[in-house]
C-alpha cells in the first residue's frame, strides 16, 4: 500500500536522488584517478565526470583542502535542492540527517575553543550541512551549563543535550563523553522517528541505524581502553539500539582488552569477519587508515575502521534496491560523503607521492 501514496509527495525527489546516485564515480574513474601524476591531471580526469569543471576557477597550485571543500559544496548543493523541495515526513527525515553533522560541529568548536584555536579558522572547518545560526557563539562557552543555556537551547540538539548536563567542566574527556552521549540520544531519537514511517523506510533505516549504533558501541569500547573512563560510564554511552543490544552491549561494557571485544561480538558473523580481516591486514603490513581520524592510534583500530566503512557503504548501497522509501535519501548523503573522502585521500596521495597507499580508498561499487 505504501507504494500507492509515496509518490504523491516524494516520487519526484526519489527519482532525482537516484539520478544523483547514478552519477557517483564508477570504478573506472577511480582507476583513472589513481594513475594521475599531479593534481592538474586529477582535475582533468574529474572534468569528464559529473563533477564537471567544479575546480575551474581555482588558482593553479591546487590543494587537497580546496578539492575537498568544493566536492563537499556539491554535496551540500544537492542536499539543499532536495531539502527545499521536500514535504512533511521527508523534510523532518532530512533534518535528522543534518543533526549528526551539527553534533560534530558543536564538538569541533568546543574542542577548538578549549585548545584556544582561532574562531574563524574553526568555523571554516565546520561541515556545511550542520551549520546553524547561533554556532559562532559556541566559541565563548567555558562550561557545559553555559554552553546549553546560551547556545544550544534554541537548536534541535537541545533535547539530546539534556542528558549530559551533569558533566561539570569542559576538558578533553568530558567533551568526548558529551559527543558520545549526544550521538547516543540522536541515534535513539532517529530510530524512534524511523519506526513511525512506513514499511520500506523502517526496514532499511533500521538496518542502517543498527549498524551505526553497533559501530559506535565497538569504537567506544576500543577507545576507552587505557583511559580513565570507568566501566559504568562506558556502559552509559552505548546506544540502546542495534544488533548488539542488549547482551552484546552488556558484555562489551565489561570488556578489558581487544580480545574480549572480539569474543563479545563473535555471535554476529559480519562483525567477527571485521576483526578477522583487520588482524589479517595488519599482519601483512598493509591496512588503510585514511578514515582513521575517529579510530584509535594503533593500526589495529585504524584498519578496523576501514572495515566498518566498507560495511557501511555496502549497507547504504543495498538500500537503493528498495523503491518507495525514504532510506535512499540518507544513503545517498552517506555514499556521497564517502566519495568526497575517497577523492581527498587520492588527491592527498598524489600530492605526497605515496603511490603505494593510493589504492586504500573505499570502493563504492
Partner 1 sequence: MGYSSYYFYGLGISWISIFIIVGLYLLFTGQGETFNIGRYLEETSPYFWALLGIALCVGFSVMGAGLGIYLTGSSLLGAGVRAPRIRTKNLISIIFCEVVAIYGIIIAIVYSSKIQGASLETLHNTANTYTAAALFFGGLTVGLCNLMCGIAVGTTGATCAVSDAQNPELFVKVLIVEIFGSVLGLFGLIGTSRLWSDVSAKVADGDTLIERGSFQSDCWW
Cα–Cα distance for residue pair 64/69, rounded to 1 Å: 8
Residue 363 binds partner 1 (CB under 8 A): no
One of 47, 80, 323, 352 touching partner 1 (CB under 8 A) = 323
Residue 18 binds partner 1 (CB under 8 A): yes
Cα–Cα distance for residue pair 283/300, rounded to 1 Å: 10
- What is the Cβ-side half-sphere exposure of residue 184, based on CA atoms within 13 angstroms? 21
Residue 156 binds partner 1 (CB under 8 A): no
Q: Is the dihedral of CA 64, 70, 71, 75 positive or negative?
A: positive
Residue 23 binds partner 1 (CB under 8 A): yes
Residue 20 binds partner 1 (CB under 8 A): yes
Nearest to 353, CA basis, from 36, 68, 115, 22: 36
Q: In the beta sheet, which residues pair with residue 169?
A: 143
Nearer to partner 1, 19 or 363 (CB): 19
Q: Is the dihedral of CA 79, 84, 90, 94 positive or negative?
A: positive
Residue 60 binds partner 1 (CB under 8 A): no
Nearer to partner 1, 204 or 303 (CB): 204
Q: Is 169 helix (H, G, I), strand (E, B) or coil?
A: strand
Residue 84 binds partner 1 (CB under 8 A): no
CB 275 within 8 A of CB 255: no
Nearer to partner 1, 15 or 159 (CB): 15
CB 334 within 8 A of CB 312: yes
Min separation Cβ 87 and partner 1, Å:
13
Site string for partner 1, 168-207 (x = CB under 8 A): ----------------------------------------
Total interface residues for partner 1 by CB under 8 A: 18
Nearer to partner 1, 3 or 140 (CB): 3
Binding segment toward partner 1, per CB under 8 A, in 20-28, 129-137, 162-170, 299-307: 20-28
Nearer to partner 1, 17 or 67 (CB): 17
Contacts of residue 235, Cβ cutoff 8 Å, sequence gap at least 6: 249, 250, 253
Cα–Cα distance for residue pair 2/10, rounded to 1 Å: 12
Q: Is 143 helix (H, G, I), strand (E, B) or coil?
A: strand
Nearer to partner 1, 143 or 323 (CB): 323
Residue 52 binds partner 1 (CB under 8 A): no
Site string for partner 1, 111-150 (x = CB under 8 A): ----------------------------------------
Min separation Cβ 156 and partner 1, Å:
20
Residue 360 binds partner 1 (CB under 8 A): no
Q: What b/e readout covers 232-262, taking b as 16+ CB neighbours within 10 angstroms?
A: eebbebbbebbbbbeebbebbbebeebeebb
Binding segment toward partner 1, per CB under 8 A, in 8-16, 92-100, 163-171, 306-314: 8-16
Cα–Cα distance for residue pair 250/64, rounded to 1 Å: 42
Min separation Cβ 11 and partner 1, Å:
3
- What is the Cβ-side half-sphere exposure of residue 211, based on CA atoms within 13 angstroms? 19
Residue 22 binds partner 1 (CB under 8 A): yes
Nearer to partner 1, 25 or 358 (CB): 25
Residue 12 binds partner 1 (CB under 8 A): yes
Contacts of residue 223, Cβ cutoff 8 Å, sequence gap at least 6: 295, 296, 301
Residue 68 binds partner 1 (CB under 8 A): no
Residues making contact with partner 1 (CB under 8 A): 3-4, 7-8, 11-20, 22-23, 323-324
Amino acid at each position: 500500500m505504501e507504494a500507492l501514496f509515496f509518490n504523491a509527495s516524494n516520487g519526484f525527489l526519489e527519482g532525482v536522488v537516484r539520478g544523483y546516485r547514478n552519477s557517483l564515480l564508477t570504478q573506472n574513474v577511480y582507476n583513472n584517478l589513481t594513475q594521475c601524476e599531479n593534481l592538474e591531471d586529477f582535475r582533468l580526469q574529474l572534468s569528464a565526470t559529473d563533477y564537471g569543471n567544479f575546480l575551474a576557477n581555482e588558482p593553479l597550485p591546487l590543494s587537497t583542502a580546496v578539492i575537498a571543500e568544493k566536492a563537499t559544496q556539491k554535496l551540500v548543493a544537492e542536499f539543499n535542492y532536495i531539502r527545499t523541495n521536500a514535504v512533511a515526513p521527508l523534510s523532518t527525515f532530512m533534518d535528522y540527517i543534518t543533526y549528526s553533522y551539527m553534533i560534530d560541529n558543536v564538538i569541533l568548536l568546543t574542542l577548538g575553543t578549549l585548545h584556544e584555536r582561532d574562531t574563524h579558522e574553526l568555523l571554516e572547518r565546520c561541515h556545511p550541512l550542520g551549520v546553524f545560526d547561533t554556532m559562532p557563539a559556541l566559541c565563548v562557552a567555558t562550561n557545559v551549563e553555559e554552553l546549553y543555556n546560551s547556545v544550544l537551547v534554541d537548536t534541535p540538539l537541545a533535547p539530546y543535550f539534556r542528558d549530559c548536563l551533569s558533566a561539570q567542566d569542559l576538558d578533553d574527556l568530558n567533551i568526548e563523553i558529551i559527543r558520545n552521549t549526544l550521538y547516543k540520544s540522536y541515534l535513539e531519537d532517529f530510530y524512534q522517528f524511523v519506526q513511525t514511517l512506513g514499511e520500506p523506510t523502517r526496514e532499511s533505516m533500521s538496518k542502517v541505524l543498527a549498524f551505526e549504533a553497533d559501530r559506535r558501541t565497538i569504537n567506544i569500547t576500543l577507545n576507552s581502553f587505557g583511559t580513565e573512563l570507568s566501566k559504568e560510564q562506558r556502559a552509559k554511552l552505548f546506544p540502546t539500539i542495534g544488533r548488539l543490544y542488549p547482551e552484546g552491549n552488556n558484555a562489551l561494557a565489561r570488556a578489558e582488552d581487544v580480545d574480549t571485544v572480539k569474543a563479545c561480538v563473535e555471535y554476529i558473523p559480519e562483525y567477527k569477519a571485521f576483526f578477522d580481516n583487520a588482524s589479517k591486514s595488519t599482519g601483512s603490513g598493509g591496512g588503510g587508515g585514511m578514515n582513521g581520524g575517529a579510530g584509535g592510534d594503533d593500526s589495529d583500530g585504524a584498519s578496523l575502521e576501514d572495515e566498518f566503512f566498507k560495511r557501511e557503504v555496502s549497507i547504504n548501497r543495498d538500500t537503493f534496491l528498495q523503491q518507495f522509501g525514504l532510506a535512499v535519501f540518507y544513503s545517498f548523503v552517506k555514499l556521497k560523503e564517502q566519495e568526497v573522502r575517497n577523492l581527498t585521500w587520492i588527491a592527498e596521495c598524489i600530492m605526497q607521492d605515496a603511490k603505494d597507499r593510493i589504492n586504500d580508498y573505499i570502493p563504492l561499487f
